[in-house]
Amino acid sequence: MDSRSLEFLKTLLDTPGPSSYETLPARAWRAQAGGFAAEVTADVSGNSFATLNPAAAPRVMLAGHIDEIGVMVTYIDDDGYLSFDTIGGWDHQVFVGQRVQLLGHGGTVSGVIGKKAIHLMEKEDRDKVSKAGDLWIDIGAATRAEASARVRIGDPGVLASAVLEFPNGRLVSRSLDNRVGAFVVLEALRLLAQDPPAARVTAAATTREEISTTGGGARAGATGLAADVAIVVDVTHATDYPGLEKRKHGDYRLGSGPALTRGAAINPVVFDLLVATAEAERIPYTIEAAPRDTSTDADNVFTALKGVATALVSVPLRYMHSPNEMVALEDLDRTARLLAGFARRVTAQTDFVPR
């Protein structure tokens, strides 16, 4: 990976932006896009767009959601302790003993998640799983008034962690799901800017995927762009660590390249063109089955407008929805190259109707 791209990726990953509060990473994404895109815009849903060939057709959308899971302040007690709830799907056991960054109205506020010490617990309570409702955030305030001067009800936050680089090209971060999707689509656009396609291509950093049941930012984004074809980039569970049954969960490994989904919400013409692109450019890939739904933005983009020819391309990820998710950098490169190669094959004559 280009060193400048890697530095941008690390900045993007460390910038807090839980669902519905994606402003900071979106701002960084648009600033990066301004270096090579013909147009850079945003919409009222918080989506960000970077476009090449604005007047061309057909309209290709490359979409990765830029939000991450997080927490939200729900109550401040008389002693200044903060109650919180989850933004997105968490394993609540992860919260115990963590540090947090809250996005307060005056800036970032540091806190720690508190729990009764094990020494003070009754024996029968020691083996119970902690829930968010049993915990609290301590920001060092002594009173409600002192805490309220720094945070308000509804302020969001993320667990405080920074990017780590591991051997074998592994990258660790709390926000790989799915900040890497937003990164990959922009990286694909950067590659396309060096060798422009015939089609109009828009990279989209979409919002609210982690909490959406009605389309989130992706549906609004696809509608606003009037997309003809869309590739949604997300992450999928790597199954290359102990204890996972591959007959049930499939075989997806770090370093095995992008996973191409077949089934629900997937246009078969787009899928076949992705496969042809991968094989022509010698990009390794795996195939993932989706017999009912994909549980990604592909489900929402597919049914936008009168229907959008949609595919889902996923990056294998270990330890999803934890403070220490892990990907292989080579899989990000391969996915970006696949998207760029696909976009170059799309022309005004490409027919996406399954026949």
pLDDT digits (tens, 9 = 90+) for 252-268: 999 999 999 999 999 99
Query: In this predicted model, what pLDDT tens digit does every residue of 38-54 receive, in sequence order?
Result: 999 999 999 999 999 99
Tell which residue, 245, 281, 293, 321, has the closest CA to residue 67.
321
Q: What is the pLDDT of residue 123?
A: 79
pLDDT at 260: 98
CATH placement of domain 71-159: 2.40.30.40
Q: Where are the domains of the chain?
A: 3-68+174-345, 71-159
Contact 26, 66 (CB under 8 A): yes
Structure tokens at 345: 């094959």
For 278-321, give the DSSP string. HHHTT---EEEEESS--SSTHHHHHTSTT--EEEEEEEEEBS-S
Cα separation, 25 vs 341, in Å, equals 27
User: Which residues on neighbouring strands pair with residue 325, listed in sequence order?
Assistant: 173
CB 263 within 8 A of CB 290: yes
| Backbone φ, ψ for residue 249 (5° rounding) | -110, -5
Tell me, what's the pLDDT at 204?
Answer: 98
Dihedral angle computed from the Cα positions of residues 26, 32, 34 and 39, in that order, rounded to the nearest 10 degrees? -50
Active-site positions read: 209
C-alpha closest to that of 339 among 24, 62, 20, 8? 62
CA–CA distances in Å: residue 46 to residues 26, 92, 121? 8, 28, 44
Which residue positions in the chain have pLDDT lower than 50? none
**Cα of 344 vs its chain's centroid, Å:** 25
Rounded to 5 degrees, φ, ψ at 217 are -75, -25
R_g of the chain computed on alpha carbons: 21
Question: Looking at the domain 3-68+174-345, which fold is it?
Answer: Aminopeptidase (3.40.630)
